[in-house]
Every structure is written in C-alpha cells, then in structure tokens.
C-alpha cells in the first residue's frame, strides 16, 4: 500500500481526530514494515545504528555529550504487539539524548518563548531551556490516583522552555533520525511503549531510564522523510477539519439561538423550527453537539414553546398564581418562587465501616456523588442507621464538587451529604416536569452562579430567589410527552453517529492490517 492509495482510502472514511490519529499510526506501520521504501531502502537497520554510533562517538570525543553507555539490546517481548523482529529496533537511549525539563510550570514567568506543558496548548516563558527539534514526553500520569495514562505527546521546534514533569528527546543526528518521526511513532504506540512502563501507586510516573529503554525502529532517513510528509498532510487534514467544525458549531449555535431568543414570537419560532429540522441533521456530526441539542429542547420546553396552550380551559392552581407575569412565558403560565414553595433536604454521611457492596437483609442502597457519573458503584448501609431516606420517583441534586447541579432520579434508599433531595408542591408540578425544570437554564444558571465554590456547594438560602416557570398541570403532561419523543430522536441520532464511527473504525483497522502486510488475525506475522 503506497501513500497515495492510503490517502485515497482514508478520504472515504472520514476525518475526525480519532480517525486522523489512526491514519498516522497506519503510516508509521507502513514505514516499519518496509512498505514505504518500495524495496529500495538506502540503509539497512544495522547500518542506521552504526551510523548513529559513529556520530555519538564523535560528539563524545568533542565533549559535547558524556561517553555513551552500552544499553541492553531490544528483545521481542519489548516490541509493540504488531512487530516481532527485534533486530529492526534499538533502545531510544541509543539514538537520542533525553533531557528532563528545567522550568517549574507554576513559577514560570510569561515571555516570548513557548513553554511546553502537559496540556494541549503551549504556555509562554521569559527564557528558553533547549533549542532544536524534539519529541516531548510527559513523565507523570494524566489522570493520577493510581491510574497510568498519557493524554498526548508534543512535537516542538526552535527555542523553547520545558516543564520539569516532561522530557525532550533530541536525536543525536537529525539527518539519520527525525524528531518528528520519533514523535509520531511514540504517539502511535504510546500505550504499549510508554504507559506500560509507568510505575507507582498514588503518583504514577515514568523515569528517564525507562524512557531510554523504549524500542525504536531503525528506518532509513528517506523513509522517515516520507512519513514526515504524510504527517504534514495529516496536519492539513486536521486543520481543515477544525475549520469545518468551527463553522458547523457557529451555524448550529446560531440555529438554536434563534429558537430560544426572547424576541422570537410564535410565527418566527415556527419558521426557525422548520429551518432547524432541515439543517441540524447535516450540521450534527459529533456527540457533544447532540448534548447541546438536548439542552435546547429542555430550555424550549420550560419556556412553553414545544406545545400549544389552551388558556380558556387550563390554568394553574389559584394559590400559586403570582402577581408578576414573566414576559417570556405564555399568558396562562405563572412563576413559582423556590424560597416560598420549594425546599431541599440535605443528606447524611454514615461511616464507611458500615458500607457493604452487595444487597442484604436489613440494608438499603446509599446514593453517593459517584452515582451521578457514568459508572456508579452501589454500596449499602444498615437501614437502622440511615438518616436521610429517599423513595423511587424523588429527585436528588448533586451538591458539591464537579457534580454540583447534576440531577438524579432516586430509587428507594438513602443519600449522603453530597446530595440534596428536592421537595416541591405536588399540586404545582408533576415529577417529570420538575425534573426538566431542574435540568433547565431556569435552575442551572442561578444555581451555578450562587454556588460559592465547587467544594462549598449551595444551601437553601442560595436558591431562595429562583423563580420556576409554572404551566398548568395538563400542559405539563403534554410537555413531558413531547420532550420524551424528542429525546428519543436524539438517542437515534446519537446511535447513528456511533454506528458510523464504528463502521469507519473497522475500515481503518482493515487498513492497518493491510499496512502490516497480512489479513485480519495475522498481525503477529505481518511485520516480520
């Protein structure tokens, strides 16, 4: 498979960031397996290594580097899973010098030089630590807390400063070993080559010595340059994709803003809704865009713009009719003040010594802040010690930390101090509409503004000034039914994006197998 055929195949698959990264990996695999040189490599792997050793000897003789130490040869067990011939590889420390960063990130003073840190964006610095082209590797886990992970590596040229929790890899001879190729290779196989070498319990890190042990393919300079050219094309694909996504995001935001703008009357809303229905399927290409669509649906629902009103037949309960009419709400809607009619009931924190991880007689489920995430871990406590109880159909609110303001349907059980139970008048709201209100801008905006900090959370006093939209009960039922139908459509749209992504990923896997020279299932033999 040559470069032109690879790019032609990729153009049919798509260009989101994950797929572009997979294309980079395919290009690197082609180079390692000898399929970018058309069988005419100018140097064999051993010749590349010998040439690098001669350069190192000359640098050491001049005192430019310490006398090189002999490193252990690469073994087959150290190689990425798709490759089996250790004679085609050498330790990274044999091919490049590895320099630890010299600048404390928190103490760095802004200036004219880029400061490479672990995040995607560069900071700036008033001095530079290094000069040249380098692959940059973080030494500290991206997630911490005992998990080994690296989000990204960096490629940097010119004069730059480097944070102390990263290392810069400078080839001994850039004419023999490209820093850009090293960056792409290490990025493509970072899980196997770098993450697997991280150690530690609470603080998971890489050492410079372990980085030096990473096996690197010995590829002739001409093929490395071909890879660099392919990576430049990938850079162009990413830049073009980012431009298209920015335009899509602006168009989507403008389309949804028209639907919720205060000046949008009933006639304009119908026009904008038709336009949105025609354009959003084309503009929506990422799951995060569907999240925005879901929030817009909620905001429209609690503004009375999803279903029609019957002001002659429907009215709110007399005692909840307020003096002031909200200018953005339908005529037969009122506002209900949280401080006057609603309440929250805080949770209780039992000692962890009472926790068990399986249901048993005399125990109840304890809902905790982690149950607001995607991977809840149920625990149970004795019902005799449960102080704050909840029932199925009641609503819990995240009160602290990153989960502040998250809304959660309760089941029968208890809840801890990191949650609060929402209490509302049953003759004012039906539970599903109350749930929509708490997830809408009418509650989330004031709540996040009132929360004194993520850790301090909120209390009842912080919420007392919130005014909820109050439609008639019959209309609430219609609104909930309409929202459920629209959310089902969002689910279908999200599933279609997932299906398309899965299909493209399978096509890319097929390309990778072909790049390595074998049919699916033959990867172990492909790179020999």
Tell me the per-residue pLDDT of 328-387, one tens digit each, with 9 for 90 and over.
Answer: 788 888 889 899 999 999 999 899 999 999 999 999 999 988 887 777 889 999 999 999
**What does the angle CA 133 – CA 138 – CA 144 come to, to the nearest 5 degrees?**
170
Q: What domains are defined for the chain? A: 1-42+228-314+472-528 (no CATH), 43-219 (3.90.220.20), 324-470 (3.90.220.20)
Q: Give the single-character DSSP code of 402.
A: G
The pair of three-digit structure tokens given for residue 251, joined into one six-digit string: 């168009």
Tell me the per-residue pLDDT of 124-143, one tens digit each, with 9 for 90 and over.
Answer: 999 999 999 999 999 998 87
Beta bridge partners of 414: 366, 389
pLDDT of residue 454: 46
Q: Pick out the chain residues at pLDDT < 70.
A: 1-18, 37-41, 144-146, 202, 252-253, 255-285, 323-325, 451-456, 500-528
Q: Give the single-character DSSP code of 422.
A: E
Q: What's the 3-state SS for 84-96?
A: CCHHHEEEHHHHE
What's phi and psi for 307, nearest 5 deg?
Answer: -130, 160
SS3 state of residue 160: strand
Contact between residue 304 and residue 436 where contact means Cβ atoms under 8 Å apart: no
Neighbours of 267 (CB within 10 A): 8
- Residue 464: CA count within 13 A, CB half-sphere: 6
**What does the angle CA 417 – CA 421 – CA 422 come to, to the nearest 5 degrees?**
145
CA–CA gap between residue 89 and residue 524 (Å, rounded): 16
SS3 state of residue 386: coil
pLDDT of residue 492: 76
CA–CA gap between residue 266 and residue 268 (Å, rounded): 6
pTM: 0.57
Q: Give the single-character DSSP code of 358.
A: S
Strands, E assignment, 204-300: 215-217
Least Cα distance to 26 among 239, 231, 190, 238 occurs for 231
CA–CA gap between residue 22 and residue 27 (Å, rounded): 9
């Amino acid at each position: 498979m040559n470069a032109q055929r690879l790019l032609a195949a990729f153009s049919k698959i798509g260009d989101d960031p994950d797929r572009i990264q997979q294309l980079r990996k395919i290009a690197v695999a082609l180079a390692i397996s000898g399929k970018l040189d058309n069988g005419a490599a100018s140097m064999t792997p051993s010749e590349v290594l010998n040439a690098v050793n001669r350069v190192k000897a000359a640098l050491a003789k001049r005192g430019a580097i310490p006398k090189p130490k002999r490193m252990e040869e690469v073994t087959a067990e150290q190689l990425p899973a798709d490759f089996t011939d250790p004679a085609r590889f050498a330790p990274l420390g044999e091919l490049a010098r590895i320099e630890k960063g010299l600048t404390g990130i928190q103490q760095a003073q802004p200036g004219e030089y880029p400061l490479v840190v672990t995040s995607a964006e560069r900071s700036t610095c008033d001095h530079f630590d290094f000069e040249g082209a380098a692959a940059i590797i973080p030494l500290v886990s991206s997630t911490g807390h005992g998990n080994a992970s690296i989000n990204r590596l960096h490629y940097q040229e010119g004069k730059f400063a480097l944070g102390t929790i990263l290392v810069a890899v400078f080839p001994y001879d850039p004419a023999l070993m490209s820093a850009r190729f090293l960056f792409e290779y290490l990025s493509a196989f970072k899980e196997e080559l770098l993450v697997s070498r991280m150690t530690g319990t609470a603080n998971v890190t890489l050492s410079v010595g372990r980085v030096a042990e990473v096996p690197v393919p010995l590829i002739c300079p001409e093929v490395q340059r071909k890879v660099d050219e392919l990576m430049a094309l990938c850079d162009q694909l990413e830049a073009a994709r980012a431009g298209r996504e920015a335009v899509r995001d602006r168009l989507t935001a403008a389309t949804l803003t028209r639907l919720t703008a205060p000046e949008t009357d009933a006639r304009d809303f119908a026009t904008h809704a038709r336009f949105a229905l025609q354009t959003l399927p084309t503009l929506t290409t990422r799951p995060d865009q569907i999240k925005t669509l879901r929030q817009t649906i909620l905001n429209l629902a609690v503004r009375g713009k999803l279903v029609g009103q019957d002001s002659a037949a429907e009215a709110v309960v007399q005692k909840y009719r307020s003096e002031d009419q909200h200018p953005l709400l339908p005529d037969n809607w009122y506002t209900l003040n949280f401080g006057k009619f609603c309440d929250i009931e805080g949770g209780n924190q039992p000692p962890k010594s009472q926790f068990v991880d399986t249901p048993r007689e005399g125990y109840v489920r304890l809902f905790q802040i982690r149950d607001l995430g995607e991977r809840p871990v149920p625990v149970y406590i004795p019902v005799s010690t449960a102080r704050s109880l909840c029932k199925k159909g009641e609503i819990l609110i995240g009160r602290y930390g990153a989960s502040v303001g998250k809304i959660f349907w309760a089941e029968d059980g208890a809840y801890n101090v990191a949650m609060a139970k929402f209490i509302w008048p049953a003759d004012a709201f039906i539970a599903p509409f109350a749930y929509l209100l708490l997830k809408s801008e009418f509650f989330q905006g004031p709540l996040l503004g009132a929360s004194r900090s993520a850790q301090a959370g909120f209390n009842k006093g912080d919420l007392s000034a919130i005014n909820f939209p109050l439609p008639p009960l019959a209309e609430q039922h219609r609104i909930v039914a309409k929202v459920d139908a629209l959310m089902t459509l969002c689910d279908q749209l999200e599933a279609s994006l997932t299906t398309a992504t899965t299909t493209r990923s399978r096509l890319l896997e097929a390309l990778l197998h072909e790049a390595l020279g074998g049919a699916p299932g033959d990867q172990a033999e492909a790179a020999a």
